[in-house]
């Protein structure tokens, strides 16, 4: 009986985690460097396993041409492609778009291995520092700034170790004063 409850609980947790992932992807805004997959059910010639968005945040698609994806969600791209293919090219097309690879975030300053790193959903500054090899001996834990990729003014904002990190963010860790 206990094993049965264990598997039931495990199944519920898996369903819940998939719902959270789907919800997270539904609000994610695409940008240059993201890699997406497009699937049109029953149409292999219109399905693409990997498409990297250009520096302008666009990609080229058959019958439609250049598609502006920057700032749009995967669901918005699905709807746009389905609407443009419907009628003239296909009858009631079923389109799905998913993000395969997020654009990088960047970390500089007093970390052991500064540079660009692949974004991972749920990333915090603490984990970003760990990915970059950790802090140097001179690093300040209180003088950390982030420039958000989505901020058109590129204004640095103060951050702490629990601050969420998003694709395209630029993190700078200053030296501490002794």
Domain boundaries defined on the chain: 1-101, 104-175
CATH architecture of 1-101: 2-Layer Sandwich (3.30)
Res 22 pLDDT > 70? no
The rounded mean pLDDT for the chain is: 86
Q: DSSP characters for 115-163? A: EEEE--TT-BHHHHHHHTT-B-TTEEEEEEEEE-TT-TT---EE--TT-
**Reported confidence tier of residue 151, pLDDT bands at 50, 70, 90:** confident
Tell me which fold the domain 104-175 belongs to.
Outer membrane lipoprotein wza fold like (3.10.560)
**Reported confidence tier of residue 76, pLDDT bands at 50, 70, 90:** very high
Res 58 pLDDT > 70? yes
- Per CATH, 1-101 and 104-175 having the same topology is answered no
pLDDT tens digits, 105-135:
999 999 999 999 999 889 999 999 999 999 9
pTM of the model: 0.72
> 36 with 99: CB under 8 angstroms?
yes
């Amino acid at each position: 009986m206990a094993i049965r409850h264990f598997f039931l609980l495990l199944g519920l947790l898996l369903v819940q985690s998939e719902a959270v992932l789907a919800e997270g992807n539904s609000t994610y805004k695409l940008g240059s460097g993201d890699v997406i997959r497009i699937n049109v059910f029953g149409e292999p010639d219109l399905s693409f396993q990997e498409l990297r968005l250009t520096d302008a945040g666009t990609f080229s698609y058959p019958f439609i041409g250049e598609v502006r994806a920057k700032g749009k969600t995967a669901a918005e791209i699905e709807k746009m492609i389905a609407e443009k293919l419907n009628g003239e090219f296909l009858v009631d097309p079923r389109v799905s778009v998913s993000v395969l690879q997020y654009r990088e975030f960047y970390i500089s300053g007093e970390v052991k291995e500064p540079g660009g790193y692949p974004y991972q959903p749920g990333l915090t500054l603490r984990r970003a520092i760990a990915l970059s090899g950790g802090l140097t001996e001179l690093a300040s834990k209180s003088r950390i700034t982030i420039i958000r990729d989505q901020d058109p003014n590129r204004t640095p904002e103060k951050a702490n170790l629990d601050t969420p990190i998003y694709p395209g963010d630029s993190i700078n860790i200053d030296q501490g004063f002794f």
